Structure 1
Amino acid sequence: MSSKSAMAHENGSSIKVQAMQFAYPGQSPIFADFSLQIAPGSRCLLVGANGSGKTTLLKILAGKHMVGGRDVVQVLNSSAFHDTHLVCSGDLAYLGGSWSKTVSSAGEIPLQGDISAEQMIFGVEGTDPERREKLIELLDIDLQWRMHKVSDGQRRRVQICLGLLYPFKVLLLDEVTVDLDVVARMDLLEFLQEECDQRGATIVYATHIFDGLETWATHLAYIQEGELRRVEKLSELPELKSFTNLLSVVEAWLRSETKLEKKKPVSTTTSNPRSSPFGSSRHMAYYR
């Protein structure tokens, strides 16, 4: 299936990217004419080698970088960058790989310093008490944890709890389960599947850990050097009929990349990176 092909859905798309172009200031374009559609209720795995553009794509979808016009990157039929109510309302949630300077749906919250898990979690206003208690139990969080003394995995649990306190409509996950043990990870995936099945939420999950995802995910999007190579329903992925698991399929794709000639960098001639049409508004994204 070509990169222009979409995850078609009769009820529209939760995420729609049309002919997107993007580069960081002074660097070669990461994306050029990139298009993608993801249907409501999907649990889409975003796979690719390190440096393929997965994290950048998730940040763009999260509204952390401005690209093109208002219609280029649409989340829930709104501009991911311009319509700040998406994040403020909690409808759009993003959880990235770093816990030390994470951004939850409640804003910038450092997970360091002598502060308790209880202070952090109960300090988020406007949350549903039942949902909060469910997440605390699900993630096995001790409210007396002091955030400067606990392990990376325990900090990660608090980060995830903060990011899920509001009932999101679109959730973007970037390697957030890397520090979790097997039980915590599987319990979290089960909770996220319920969010999709019961509320029609949409999840895009970038990860290199594929255990148990063959039955969890509904779709897969494979990115290679900023180009969308595959977009398919996981149940219709032909390679899964000959490979033992999803890990073997992705491994084969990534190994085949090493045999291909790398794209040559595109020289940038503009003296002012911000004047480039590919430019990133990172100074504005800081406040998001």
Structure 2
Amino acid sequence: MTVGESTEVPALEVEGLSFSYSGKPVLQEVGLRLEAGQFTVLLGPNGAGKTTLFSLITRLYDRRVGSIRVGGFELRRDAVAAHARMGVVFQQPTLDLDLTVRQNLTYHAALHGMGPREARRRAEEQLQRVGLGEALKTRVRQLSGGQRRRVEIARGLLHRPRLLLLDEPTVGLDIAARRDLVERVHRLCVDEGVAVLWATHLIDEVYPDDRVVVLDAGRVRASGSVSEVLASSGATSIGEAFDTLTRGPTEVAT
């Protein structure tokens, strides 16, 4: 977070967001709001529009109707300031497997204008936070899938963003690695005050104190705390609420 920047400004505000591809609506009047230190689960089945929403927030796509503000900065008018306040972990891995962990992170830091000394300091700091302080000189291809994801999270936090976006970050991980990653990112919200938008189709990645946005067929079907989503759907569990609000049951990892 920039020194002196107010924490009262939402980390992310999306209002009236609509997007069509080849004339077919993909997102329709989507709205959501994330405050500092808030872990929000974007819960939806495959094809719900989660990745499209992330692509619009990160400006990989730009043909849209509606407003996206990151840390109070409108994405189109103040793209540089908005992007400086977000970190991203995409669904597909983006690390260079032949570089060391430190090289991957310092290269990313250089793109954000950091000098070599500051880049190394922040790389070491963030790797300690995700439990990989001993892996600085390790080549990425030697790491497990869960460790690589943690490196990507450390990379996304190097420039101290207000908002961290994670698109299906546990895809391909075993149960233990998934649970470890979910727990670590929840702790980051508390320790760093960063707002997290975590996209998933797995209901066991939702914690009782999380905020939840249920997305289906490009529309927000429910939004609020877990208890609010349960009350609005008349359900007794988040899985039952999901089934009620969407077209079919979601997955629970076994």
Q: TM-score range by the shorter chain?
A: 0.7 to 0.9
Check conservation: 2:40, 2:213, Cα contact below 8 A.
Answer: yes
Q: How does 1:136-175 map to 2 (within 5 A)?
A: 136=128, 138-140=130-132, 142-148=135-141, 150-175=143-168
Check conservation: 1:41, 1:197, Cα contact below 8 A.
Answer: yes
For residues 17 and 248 of structure 1, the distance between their equivalents in structure 2, rounded to whole angstroms, comes to: 27
Q: Which has the higher strand share?
A: 2
Q: How does 1:47-196 map to 2 (within 5 A)?
A: 47-68=43-64, 72-86=67-81, 89=84, 91-99=85-93, 102=94, 110-112=95-97, 114-123=98-107, 124-125=109-110, 126=114, 127=119, 129=121, 132-136=124-128, 138-140=130-132, 142-148=135-141, 150-181=143-174, 184-196=177-189
Counterpart residue number, 2:252: none
Structure 1 residues 211 and 67: alpha-carbon distance in aligned structure 2, compared to 1, 3 A threshold: same
**Structure 1: any 5+ residue segments left out of the alignment?**
1-10, 103-109, 260-288
Deviation at residue 129 of structure 1 after TM alignment: 2.3
Confirm whether residue 20 of structure 1 aligns to residue 14 of structure 2.
no
Query: Equivalent residue of 1:236, what SS?
Result: helix
Check conservation: 2:13, 2:31, Cα contact below 8 A.
Answer: yes
Deviation at residue 66 of structure 1 after TM alignment: 1.7
Deviation at residue 41 of structure 1 after TM alignment: 3.0
Counterpart residue number, 2:30: 34
For residues 183 and 45 of structure 2, the distance between their equivalents in structure 1, rounded to whole angstroms, comes to: 26
Check conservation: 1:93, 1:171, Cα contact below 8 A.
Answer: yes
**Structure 2: any 5+ residue segments left out of the alignment?**
1-7, 250-254
Confirm whether residue 238 of structure 1 aligns to residue 230 of structure 2.
yes
Confirm whether residue 44 of structure 1 aligns to residue 40 of structure 2.
yes
Check conservation: 1:62, 1:93, Cα contact below 8 A.
Answer: no
For residues 234 and 219 of structure 2, the distance between their equivalents in structure 1, rounded to whole angstroms, comes to: 25
Structure 1 residues 160 and 196: alpha-carbon distance in aligned structure 2, compared to 1, 3 A threshold: closer
Check conservation: 2:10, 2:36, Cα contact below 8 A.
Answer: yes
2:242 equivalent among 246, 250, 258:
250
Amino acid corresponding to residue 93 of structure 1 in structure 2: G
Deviation at residue 251 of structure 1 after TM alignment: 4.7
After superposition, the CA RMSD in angstroms is 3.3
Structure 1 residues 232 and 88: alpha-carbon distance in aligned structure 2, compared to 1, 3 A threshold: closer
Check conservation: 1:53, 1:223, Cα contact below 8 A.
Answer: yes
For residues 186 and 49 of structure 2, the distance between their equivalents in structure 1, rounded to whole angstroms, comes to: 25
Query: Equivalent residue of 2:151, what SS?
Result: helix
Structure 1 residues 62 and 131: alpha-carbon distance in aligned structure 2, compared to 1, 3 A threshold: same
Deviation at residue 194 of structure 1 after TM alignment: 4.1
Identical positions, percent: 25
Q: Which has the higher helix share?
A: 2
Q: Which has the higher contact order (CA 8 A, sep 6+)?
A: 1
Structure 1 residues 158 and 193: alpha-carbon distance in aligned structure 2, compared to 1, 3 A threshold: closer
For residues 212 and 17 of structure 1, the distance between their equivalents in structure 2, rounded to whole angstroms, comes to: 23
Counterpart residue number, 1:8: none
Amino acid corresponding to residue 30 of structure 2 in structure 1: F
Deviation at residue 157 of structure 1 after TM alignment: 3.1
Deviation at residue 47 of structure 1 after TM alignment: 0.8
Query: Equivalent residue of 2:87, what SS?
Result: strand
